[in-house]
Chain A
């Protein structure tokens, strides 16, 4: 059973996890939403403006506007830019020292929705069908929270594309979805 993990996208451009399979119905079998934020440690030399974490896998540019907190010193600053493993701030009190741990907080509670997207067949009653978006399940994950669902998904059937979206784009909210076909 395949699964993938992505950051949360909003309703305007929801993430498609499984595309429609002609001869089967898709079923989400597991979903985990990690809204606890990103964390790690500064691995470079001391800096007041650039935090470097060689182990990070940030999406370049995605973190601008979020807040990074130096957990070791307790100081925070707003992110102005980021690469795959660096984060730039205007300046942070107390600097980033080698080995300091950091967190990047989620911006808030996230409401997650599992959506079924499909184009119906031409039928007697609807000779020119239009694409349908049917929300099958919605739940909220509080900021700093982590939720996983398995049994609750047992009766959800996806006729077309299995899509998942949040109430806002949030690179700190990670969504992992597994699915099967039947």
Chain B
């Protein structure tokens, strides 16, 4: 449900759409919890889409951070769907700047960590602040590479935006493209199932 798309090794012609389009198939794995019965283990076809750009910006002093909650919770940025038939495929890009971004879902649970004890992102630590951190150049706003998927009632995805030392203040500009997808549940054929975009639950990113 959260992925960083690598730079392509080759180009194909005709080009492949980067985002979900009308008629595409998506399937949610069985790992999705019972609390999200509207998607757990189900396959859908995208009936219609609408791309909604949105920019978030924060001026943050050096060696400080702000947690940006993409969910619809109080204080959140309301980038989650409210309809059980809607999937938000959100592309996240960054404007240049002296900042790092750590991902948490839900709050306090690191998305990117290593297996050794203590090898977790920590913005208060001189070296661990770089562990699992995405830099603006990893997903430029002109070529967004971070894809997040959200459905109604999904736990909050938190972006911890940390401004590194070396500047007084930094303006972190997060450029989003929310690809709203209206879903229709289907009983997939084997071919449809194979073609469907697999959307894992975030727990699959941690083992």
1/0 per residue, CB under 8 A from B, across A1-42: the answer is 000000000000000000000111100000000000000000
Binds A, one of B8-16, B64-72, B147-155: B64-72
Write out the residue numbers on chain B whose beta carbons fall within 8 Å of the beta carbon of A134.
168-169
Residue B57 at the chain A interface, CB threshold 8 Å: yes
CA distance A134 to B170 in the complex (A): 12
Chain B interfacial residues counted at CB < 8 A: 18
A22's contact among B55, B63, B64, B168, by CB below 8 Å, is which? B55
Give the distance to chain B from A148, nearest Cβ to Cβ, in Å. Answer: 27
Question: Contact: B173 with A121, CB < 8 Å?
Answer: no
Q: A120-B169, A134-B168 are in contact. Are A159 and B66 (CB under 8 A)?
A: no
Give the distance to chain B from A32, nearest Cβ to Cβ, in Å. Answer: 27
Chain A interfacial residues counted at CB < 8 A: 17
Residue A119 at the chain B interface, CB threshold 8 Å: yes
Write out the residue numbers on chain A whose beta carbons fall within 8 Å of the beta carbon of B66.
121-124
Write out the residue numbers on chain B whose beta carbons fall within 8 Å of the beta carbon of A119.
59
A126's contact among B64, B171, B173, by CB below 8 Å, is which? B64
Question: Contact: A22 with B57, CB < 8 Å?
Answer: yes
Residue A106 at the chain B interface, CB threshold 8 Å: no
B61's contact among A25, A123, A160, by CB below 8 Å, is which? A123
B64's contact among A23, A24, A118, A124, by CB below 8 Å, is which? A124
1/0 per residue, CB under 8 A from A, across B163-178: the answer is 0000011110101000
Q: A121-B66, A124-B66 are in contact. Are A23 and B61 (CB under 8 A)?
A: no
Q: A23-B173, A23-B175, A132-B169 are in contact. Are A123 and B60 (CB under 8 A)?
A: yes
Write out the residue numbers on chain B whose beta carbons fall within 8 Å of the beta carbon of A118.
59, 169
Write out the residue numbers on chain A whose beta carbons fall within 8 Å of the beta carbon of B64.
123-126
**Nearest chain-A residue to B123 (Cβ)?**
A124
Give the distance to chain B from A25, nearest Cβ to Cβ, in Å. Answer: 6
**Nearest chain-B residue to A132 (Cβ)?**
B169
| A-contacting residues, B102-138, CB 8 Å | none
Q: A23-B175, A134-B169 are in contact. Are A124 and B59 (CB under 8 A)?
A: no
Write out the residue numbers on chain B whose beta carbons fall within 8 Å of the beta carbon of A123.
58, 60-61, 64-66
CA distance A4 to B116 in the complex (A): 58
Give the distance to chain B from A179, nearest Cβ to Cβ, in Å. Answer: 15
Write out the residue numbers on chain B whose beta carbons fall within 8 Å of the beta carbon of A125.
61, 63-65
Question: Contact: A121 with B60, CB < 8 Å?
Answer: yes
Write out the residue numbers on chain A whose beta carbons fall within 8 Å of the beta carbon of B55.
22-23
Question: Contact: B61 with A159, CB < 8 Å?
Answer: no
Write out the residue numbers on chain A whose beta carbons fall within 8 Å of the beta carbon of B168.
134
1/0 per residue, CB under 8 A from B, across A130-168: the answer is 001010000000000000000000000001100000000
CA distance A25 to B59 in the complex (A): 11
Give the distance to chain A from B170, nearest Cβ to Cβ, in Å. Answer: 8
Give the distance to chain A from B63, nearest Cβ to Cβ, in Å. Answer: 8
Q: A23-B55, A134-B168 are in contact. Are A120 and B173 (CB under 8 A)?
A: no
30 contacts between A and B (CB under 8 A): A23-B57, A23-B95, A23-B173, A23-B175, A24-B95, A25-B173, A118-B59, A118-B169, A119-B59, A120-B59, A120-B61, A121-B59, A121-B60, A121-B66, A122-B66, A123-B58, A123-B60, A123-B61, A124-B64, A124-B65, A125-B64, A125-B65, A126-B61, A126-B64, A134-B168, A134-B169, A159-B59, A159-B170, A159-B171, A160-B59
